Every structure is written in structure tokens, then in C-alpha cells.
Amino acid sequence: MAGDGPGAVTQHVAATGTTVNGRRLELVTGDITHQSVDAIGNAANSALRGGGGVDGAIHRAAGPGLLDELVSRYPSGTPTGTAADTNAHGLSARWILHAVGPIWRGGSHGEAEHLAGAYRSCLELCDQLGARSLALPAISMGIYGYPPAEGARTAIRTVGEHLRADTSLEVVRFVLFSEETHAHFAAALVEELEGGPDAGGASSSA
């Protein structure tokens, strides 16, 4: 029957997530502030003083204590391509990881490396903190203008690499703000699942 072959199975799996080295990599569309996980990633600016989009939503949900902690612990912010941790304050998580992605400037200014670094810093902070579950947004893909297809590929590849290594994480969930963004991440996950050696260790179990 048309649409029931292996390719269709992969497309379906990629729409919801997959298993990597016994750990879950998930894709959902929704509000990241409502996630019940150990750590929530925030798409922050380098000053770590709040902003629009995901950043603003997290600050509003967490309450004023979040900004107070950021000012106290990180008076100089954190550089592009890194992340800083705080308590989660009014959120149901334990920690917020404030990741600073790059502003897109055409792709020749280290944007890919900085974007991967922002995700990688969140993942490494989870290991340091002992977090077992992490919700991540689509970093840099809002007002920072990162091309969505390229950004999704970098995100999926970076998380997949981390889950194939030794980590405390059992679940990483991308919480995406639109169906269009979700589609880009699902397509990137298809590439990861079908990409040969670079996708080693990923299984297509729903």
C-alpha cells in the first residue's frame, strides 16, 4: 500500500522522535514553560537580561527572581555559543539553562559553530547538574534569523552526538513554537536517521 514502506515509517518516527543509544530524542509543538522536565533551555541574549520570544516567556513564567539571580551570578552575561544555569524559580523544572545562539550574518561568521556550542553547553550543564530530562527551544531561529533548515540540522546533530556518548540525560525534547519549525526539525531527524555513519546509534522506535 502506498505510503506504508520504510520511508513512511521513518517520516512518522521523525515527526515524534526517536531513540538514540537507549535515550529519547523527542519533537513536540507547544509552550516550553509548561514542560515538566529537570532542565529547560532558554534562547537568551548574551547580556542574560531577558528579551522577547522564548526568553520573554520564560522570564514571565519564572517570575522576577530569575532576573535577580542572573544579575547577581552573571553580571557580565555569557558569550555567544555558551550557556549559563540558574534555578527555575516559578517553573516546574529544577533549572533553566540560558543559551546564547548567534545572530545570522550570512553564515561566514562562525554561526554554525556558535549554534552547536550553545546547544552543547546546555547538554554539558545537564551532565554537571545531573539532569535526566531537558527541554530545548529552537535557538536563534526567531528574531536572530538563523535559516530554519540549517538550524534544525545543527540542533538535531549536536543533540544526537551527545546522546550517543556518556551522559546523565535520558530524554531531550525539542519544544517548538510552530508547526513549520516542527517540520524542519522532523526533516532534520529523517536525515539523521537515514544519514549513514553519522546517524549510527539511532533506532527508529517510536
Max CA pair span of the chain: 61
Instruction: Name the amino acid, one letter, at 97.
Output: L
21 backbone dihedrals φ, ψ, rounded to 5°: 55, 40
Could you tell me the three cell numbers for 157?
546533530
- Residue among 55, 85, 127, 198 flagged as catalytic: 55
The bridge status of strand 23-29 relative to strand 202-203 is unpaired
Determine the distance from the C-alpha atom of residue 78 to the mean position of all C-alpha atoms in its chain, rounded to a whole number: 18
Could you tell me the three cell numbers for 62?
519564572
Q: Which residues pair with 167 in a beta bridge?
A: none
- Catalytic, 55? Answer yes
- How far is 103 from 100, CA to CA, in rounded Å? 9
- How far is 11 from 13, CA to CA, in rounded Å? 6
Cβ atoms < 10 Å from Cβ of 124:
16
Cβ atoms < 10 Å from Cβ of 111:
25
Would you please indicate which residues are annotated as catalytic (active-site) residues? 55
